Amino acid sequence: MRLLVFLAVGVLLLASAAFASDQNLVTRFERAVGESVKEQLIATYGGKAQIPLHEHLKLEAIFNRLTSVVSGNEDYSLTILDSYEINAFSLPGGYIFLTKGLLKLAGSDEQRIAGALAHEIAHVANKHGMNALWRRLGLSVLLEVGKFVLEVTMTEAVHAATQALIDVLQSGYSREAELEADYHAQKYMMMAGFDPAGLIHVLSDLQRLPQSQEVGAVFRSHPDPGIRIQQLLETLSDYWLSPQPIAGNVEAAEPKRGDPLNRFLIVDRSPGGETTARSYTLYDQQNQDFVGWLDGLTVNDLAFAPDGSLIAAGVWEKGIGDVWIWNRQGKVVERWKLGYTSPIDNLHFDPSSSMLVYQLRNMNGVEIWVGYLGEVTRLKLSCRLDAELVAWQESGLVLKDRAGSYYRIQAPRAEPIRLADPIPQVIERKQRLVPQVGQDANGLFRLTPPGNSGF
Amino acid sequence: MKACRMPIGFAVVILVFTTVVKAESESDVRFCDPHHLFHVVIPSGWIFQAGESSSHLLVFYGPEHDQLIYIEYFPEIAFSDPMDFAANVLEHYSADYGLPKFELVRELEPIDLGGVKAALAEYDYLGRIERTECRVFVIIDQIGLTITLSEAKPHYAVSKAQFDLILADWGWEVSP
């Protein structure tokens, strides 16, 4: 027995010495373990998916952009799994997997796809798989690895680690590892020219899914997306540069008010007095009347999207300040239930109409926030500037405070993916589904859906 | 000699007139592209699909089978030789991530399209059904163009004959 312990300690010492001296050996072992699990994973999830060529090229471009900013000597590869279960995996050695289900969830949004990929890349870069493996296996695998290092047998060492890694994948990484991967994923996204909010958006999609939706059990709940979103929101503000004093003229650069399509006029109907909260409405020049959809609402501020398609308002209702967004037909498309106990003003859309900045006053003072349209993401940008004017320009968000000084807040810059070489589309003729006209038993003419023969 | 020239000149005029009439007979339509790069005679029965077209893609449906012609523009092309442009595209199409069951049925070859150097390739792939495509690659005025006939594989030969006539009448709005 003493001899066995002595042997084990000897092998371990040799193994650790060899590992420490030869980083390539570690990489080779990780890759071998990952490789052995990879095929099983692909088989379990329906094999490799064939996705449209352009989608593939876009994915590859996103993936390459992300891996190019990650340090380390991993050789990353991406595989799309032919499964509609919403899931993503990573294996030691740089193997990253997304299911078709997850791609469908992310849609065509590059930022969401980048978020999901960056999270899995971060697991690999931070050795979460291997660390979990060591913890799970303890001494036995170290002995096997020791043998591998001594080049007794690689197969045995890899085999011992393979089953353990499958167990790790099934039970998921630790909560700490998941949160750490989120933290690093945002960093990679920022460095690679993606909006770090993309990861928040894909997690909130996940959170909104009905329980009936097929989602990997670990992926859905480990840890709870709400906790992850909270942490990501806290770190997201780090990627917005805090207000920097600049010289400039915000009014000249971008007029605050006005419908870019010149149909609606913003009319101030405030009772008067500088201290009173403002109240606005819209006059429709085409119908020569005030719009009905603002009736009964106290609107503290109004802003048009740069293309005029959306109109945002800070609405004061029953002592609560919220943001409402309408389309031009007067339909509420979003209502941000912010629940502030102060009016909201200084609304301004960003040039791409994907974000809206707003200002409020509360017990802490004046706060400037930004919200993403169609998303849950709301972010506090400043709690010390009392902005008189706000304008979103190409260079960033420009603010003028009440003392007449100008500041700029720089948003994370998201560079869209552009494919280096043009790859022509391959399209097919669409099948025309023409409804049929026929008479029913009562002699009435009816339209039936295509393929439905009966009347 | 003068008497001899008259009938020859007359014959040439008749020949030219016949060609034009043949190309644009009945309800054939002369189509000028919105970017003012080319004009082409669209045979009777082919219909421009406005709903599927965009500023960089023109789509036409033929009267029979699964006939489809589409023309795509690439304003920022890095290639100057259409053979290089085509070879790069075919490399992607034939890759493992490319078109399902891609098979080249006619090797890439240089052709002349209305007096401009172009490249042509024919290949099969599996879309919703088995299809054959004939794709012409051309670079004019620093804009890349691909002109593609796509048809269900069993009917390809018939449609290809129509496509050849379209290509034969191809004309450029800009000087090559």
The ipTM estimated for the assembled molecules is: 0.81
In a shared domain, residues A196 and A312 = no
Task: Write down which residue in A219, A239, A259 finishes a domain.
Answer: A239
Chain B residues touching A42 at Cβ < 8 A: none
| pLDDT of A420 higher than 60 | yes
Instruction: Show the tokens assigned to B170.
Output: 């191809």
Q: Are strands A332-340 and A344-349 parallel, antiparallel or unpaired?
A: unpaired
For the record, the structure tokens of B50 come out as: 């406005």
Nearest to B137 by CA among B93, B79, B53: B79
- With residues binned 3-state (H G I as helix, E B as strand, rest as coil), the percentages for chain A, rounded to 5, are 40, 25, 35
In the 8-state DSSP scheme, what is residue A293?
Answer: G
- Name the token pair of A5: 């312990």
Rg (Cα) of chain B, in Å, rounded? Answer: 18
The angle that helices A2-21 and A139-149 make with each other, rounded to 10 degrees, is 60
The answer to whether B74 contacts A428, with C-beta atoms less than 8 Å apart, is no
Range of the domain at A235: 2-239
d(CA B69, CA B63) in angstroms, rounded, equals: 11
Query: Domain of A322: which CATH number?
Result: 2.130.10.10
What is the average per-residue pLDDT within A20-42? 78
Between chains, do B93 and A53 touch, taking CB under 8 Å as contact? Answer: yes
Q: Which residues of A touch B88 (CB under 8 A)?
A: 421
Pick A424's closest partner by Cβ from B52, B59, B72: B72
Residue A376 has pLDDT above 50, yes or no: yes
Mean pLDDT of all residues belonging to chain A: 83
Q: Say yes or no to pLDDT of A13 above 70.
A: no
The pLDDT value recorded for residue B15 is 37
A259: left (phi over 0), alpha (psi -120 to 50) or beta: beta
Which tens digit of pLDDT belongs to each residue from A201-213?
999 998 888 776 7
CB contact under 8 A, B99 and A426: yes
Q: Is B86 helix (H, G, I), strand (E, B) or coil?
A: helix
Kindly determine whether residue B99 and residue A425, on different chains, have CB atoms separated by under 8 Å.
Answer: no
Average pLDDT over residues A82-102: 93
- Return the residue of A nearest to B124 by Cα: A426
Give B76-83's long-range contacts (Cβ < 8 A, gap of 24+).
B76/A422, B77/A422, B77/B139, B77/B142, B77/B143, B77/B144, B78/A420, B78/A421, B79/B139, B79/B144, B80/B139, B81/B117, B81/B139, B82/B110, B82/B117, B82/B118, B82/B119, B82/B137, B82/B138, B82/B139, B83/B108, B83/B110, B83/B119, B83/B137
Q: Do A336 and A401 share a structural domain?
A: yes
B-chain residue closest to A425, CA distance? B72
For residue A431, being part of any structural domain is answered with no
Above pLDDT 90, what percent of chain A?
A: 41
A8 & A97 share domain: yes
- Of A239, A259, A275, the last residue of a domain is A239
In the prediction, which pLDDT does A220 show?
61
Query: Is residue A422 situated within a structural domain?
Result: no
Would the CB atoms of A427 and B59 count as touching at under 8 Å?
A: yes
- A424, B76: Cβ pair inside 8 Å? no
Last-in-domain residue among A206, A239, A272: A239
Higher pLDDT, A26 or A225: A225
User: Does residue A343 belong to any structural domain of this protein?
Assistant: yes
In a shared domain, residues A192 and A308: no
Name the residue among A50, A51, A427 with its Cβ closest to that of B70.
A427
Note whether residue A352 is domain-resident.
Answer: yes
For chain A, the farthest-separated pair of C-alpha atoms sits apart, in whole angstroms, at 98
Provide the 8-state DSSP code for A177. H
CA distance A292 to B71: 47
pLDDT digits (tens, 9 = 90+) for A306-358: 999 999 999 998 888 999 999 999 999 999 988 888 889 889 999 889 999 99
From the list A412, A411, A402, the residue with the least C-alpha distance to A250 is A402
Tell whether A51 and A108 lie within a shared domain.
yes
- Sequence-separated (6 or more) residues with CB below 8 Å from residue A186: A118, A196, A199, A232, A235, A236, A239
A427/B77 CB distance under 8 A: no
Chain A environment of B59 (Cβ under 8 Å): 427
- In chain B, the N- to C-terminal Cα span, in Å, equals 38
Domains and CATH numbers, chain B: 27-172 (3.40.1000.10)
Query: What's the gap in Å between the CA of A52 and the closest CA on chain B?
Result: 8
Assess whether A69 and A12 both reside in one domain: yes
Report DSSP state, residue B50.
Answer: G
Nearest to A56 among B57, B77, B97 (CB): B97
Same domain, A229 and A285: no
Give the distance from residue B136's alpha carbon to the nearest chain A alpha carbon, in angstroms. 11
Percent share of chain A, pLDDT over 70: 82
**Is B76's CB within 8 Å of A422's CB?**
yes
Instruction: Kindly tell me if the per-residue pLDDT of A225 is higher than 70.
Output: yes
Q: Could you give the CA distance from residue A282 to residue B165 in angstroms, rounded to a whole number?
A: 59
> Do residues A40 and A34 touch, judged by C-beta distance below 8 A?
no
Residues A272 and A135 in one domain: no
Which chain A residues touch B57 with a CB distance below 8 Å? 425
pLDDT, residue A450, reads 55
- The 10s digit of each residue's pLDDT in A244-297 is 888 876 655 555 568 999 999 999 887 765 555 678 999 999 999 999 999 888
Q: Which phi and psi (to 5°) does residue A26 adopt? A: -60, -45
Beta strands A88-91; A77-81: pairing state: unpaired
Residue B109: predicted pLDDT = 97
Low-confidence stretches of chain B (pLDDT beneath 50): 1-4, 6-23
What pLDDT score does A256 carry?
56
CA separation for the pair A26, A102 (Å, rounded) = 31
CB B158 within 8 A of CB B149: no
Same domain? A392 vs A289: yes
Torsion of CA A322, A328, A329, A331, to 10 degrees: -20
Q: How confident is the model at residue A218 (pLDDT cuts 50, 70, 90)?
A: low
Q: For residue B46, what are the CA distances in angstroms to A22, B21, B68? A: 67, 18, 9
For residue B85, which residues of chain A lie inside 8 Å, CB to CB? 422
Does some domain include residue A51? yes
A337, A202: one domain: no
Measuring CA to CA, how many Å separate A66 from each of A24, A69, A114, A186? 23, 6, 8, 11
Q: DSSP per residue over B140-173, as a string?
A: ETTEEEEEEEEEEGGGHHHHHHHHHHHHHT-EES
Given a cut of 70, is residue A142 above it in pLDDT? no
Q: What DSSP character marks residue A209?
A: S
Q: Answer yes or no: do A202 and A329 share one domain.
A: no
**Phi and psi dihedrals of B19, rounded to 5?**
-60, -45
> What is the spatial distance between Cα A89 and Cα A39, in angstroms, rounded to a whole number?
13
Q: Would you call A425 and B72 a contact, using CB atoms and an 8 Å cutoff?
A: yes
- Closest chain A residue to B96 measured between Cα atoms? A50
Please indicate, yes or no, if residue A341 is contained in any of the structural domains.
yes
Backbone angles phi, psi at A221, to 5 degrees: -125, 5
Considering the domain architecture, whether residues A252 and A170 belong to the same structural domain is answered as no
Residue A90 has pLDDT above 70, yes or no: yes
CA dihedral sign, ordered A52, A53, A58, A63 = positive
| Subunit contact B128:A425, Cβ cutoff 8 A | no
To the nearest whole Å, the CA of A310 is away from the closest chain B CA by 25
Which residue, among B61, B81, B97, would best test binding to A if mutated, counting the most A CBs under 10 Å from its CB?
Answer: B97
Measure in Å the smallest separation between the Cα of A59 and chain B Cα atoms. Answer: 11
A425/B92 Cβ within 8 A? no
Domain presence at residue A454: no
Count up the domains in chain A and report the number: 2
Contact residues of B toward A, CB < 8 A: 52, 57, 59, 61, 66-68, 70, 72, 74, 76-78, 85, 88-89, 92-93, 97-100, 125, 127-128, 131, 133, 135, 144, 146, 148, 150
C-alpha separations of A241 from A12, A237, A376, A407 in Å: 48, 8, 21, 11
- Nearest chain B CA: its distance from A100 CA (Å): 14
The DSSP result for A43-65, as a single string, is HHTTSB----HHHHHHHHHHHHH
Please indicate, yes or no, if residue A312 is contained in any of the structural domains: yes
